Copies of this chain bind each other. A is one copy, B any other.
Amino acid sequence: MLRVSRSAPYHHGNLAETLERAALALLETHTAAALSLREVARQAGVSHNAPYHHFGDRQGLLKRVAERAMAELLAAQQRAAEAAQLPRERLLAVGAAYVEHALAHPNAFAVIFDPDVCEPGHPTEAMAVSIRANEDLLTDAVAAFRPESSAEQTSLFGAALWGAVHGLATLATAGHLPREALRPALDALLPRD
């Protein structure tokens, strides 16, 4: 049915998508704690109750937002991995991409790992997929960097590196580490040759 009137249609058509994007946009300037369902609805030009039909509750929306944010974080690392040549450089580049993406979108980054959003041990399907892909990416990079290591050692070193990169990013967003120190710190952690 063609709508001649300029008034908005009663049914939005793609509200879920719109709301998720609005929430992500708000996270560019506001903390997750300051993100209200009502404000997101307002941004989308819709009643304060419309989101409930798509996400159930506030946590539901945030879970979706976290999935999107995680997908973007993963993509940033994949781009960095493809651009690098040598194993050590690739490992460094992936870590740097992680940290830089976190610093560029600190509030979205925080949502990904907020235990209030995704309670420990019960990740969303999409989130679990992205996390696994991220672990694989990292494990591969570590394996190329230390080809002689056992699978267990590789996995352990990968976990340690994830922790290091994640911690550096978190501490930097909290203002406890200067931006310039991040890459050198990461570099200091990787043994040379």
**Which A residues contact B (CB, under 8 angstroms)?**
31, 33, 106, 110, 113-116, 118-121, 123, 131, 153, 156-157, 159-160, 162-171, 173-177, 181, 184-186, 188-189, 191
Contacts and interface: CB of A to CB of B under 8 A. Distances in A.
B163 A185 contact: yes
Nearest to A166: B167
A183 to B, nearest CB: 10
A142 to B, nearest CB: 10
A159 B175 contact: no
Given A106-B115, A188-B153, A120 B167 contact: no
Contacts of A181: 156, 159
Given A156-B188, A160-B189, A189-B189, 12 more contacts: A33-B33, A115-B173, A118-B174, A120-B174, A120-B175, A121-B175, A160-B164, A163-B185, A164-B167, A164-B189, A167-B169, A191-B191
* Interface hub of A162, A163, A164 (most chain B Cβ within 10 A): A163
Nearest to A119: B175
Nearest to A153: B188
